[in-house]
Amino acid sequence: MKNKTVRIGTRGSQLALYQANAVKEALESTYPDLPVEIKIIHTKGDKILDVALSKIGDKGLFTKEIEMAMVAGEVDLAVHSLKDLPTTLPEGLKLAAVLERAEYRDALVSREGKKLDELTTEDILATSSLRRRASLLRHNPDFQINDIRGNVNTRLRKMEEGYCDVMIMAAAGLQRIGLDDYITEILEPDQLMPPPSQGIIAIETKEDDTYINELMAGINHEETWLAGTAERAFLRTLEGGCQVPIGCYTRRENGQMTITGFVSSVDGTEYLEDSLTGNEKDGEHLGIQLATTLLERGGKTILQNIRPVE
């Protein structure tokens, strides 16, 4: 088994390949004699680019086809952005490891170099996220906001061609592929709270693949794992995703973790936010407790008014 080639399944975008290569490099650095290769798999989310994420659903949108390839034995592990990975995984699969977290905040990208507080109702904003839309409308209810889809480079091209004046994107996505120069402003959480697990590269495996899971344990970043566990518990309890405006982030200090989260109506007029602090090892409990608090304070009604009828 020592020389068995480890096959990584990933989407084919520049950012996805960066993430897959980061996992490949982590494995090769930790296990110098281990052969590792990358296999590109196209997902539903890559193929449907003319419909807003919130309208096509998001359960497995960027992950299902890679998971199917893993179950079929075509790849040994799947690499995702953790924020794209549903909180409930298909039977027999598990989140096995995460790499050290990169920038967790959102970035504002402006053609004219404007910052958030300088934007006016004349500026056309673009985002594919209901979370970002709600937060922007809370900042200014008269903002013009368009949907935008596609990979990072596609979105930047659309902006340069005049589709919009401003975009909000994950800062880590721009930084990872060397497009830092496009960032006009990194937005603090009190300006625009990030989604759960942003900036974290996730590795998904089969539960019964002992060999692969032992390898993953050797590259798992514990601090990031603790943060991701808390944030995913918050998201799972709210049953959220791209279809609902939910955000959260964690901070750790001296063995303590503070998790802050929000739930909002799509137009930002109803907005609930709270924080909770406890032992960092109890992150899952903290995430569940914070989400439950928000639900009891009125979040349940907000979410019921948003979710599409099944």
Please write the tens of the pLDDT for every residue from 270-282: 999 999 999 999 9
In contact, 219 and 201? CB cutoff 8 Å = no
Residue 42: its pLDDT value, please? 83
Q: How many residues belong to the chain?
A: 310
pLDDT class of 308 with cuts at 50, 70, 90: low
Residue with structure tokens 């008269």?
142
Give the residue-averaged pLDDT of 16-38. Answer: 97
* 229-236 mean pLDDT: 96
pLDDT of residue 307: 72
Can you give the pTM of this predicted structure?
0.90
Q: Which of 76, 84, 165, 209 is catalytic?
A: 84
Report residue 310's pLDDT band, with 50, 70 and 90 as the boundaries: very low
pLDDT greater than 60 at residue 309:
no
Backbone angles phi, psi at 288, to 5 degrees: -65, -45
- Confirm whether 142 is a catalytic residue: no
19 pLDDT higher than 50: yes
**Whether residue 69 has pLDDT greater than 50:** yes
Q: Tell me the average pLDDT of the chain.
A: 91
Residue 143 contacts residue 86 (beta carbons within 8 Å): no
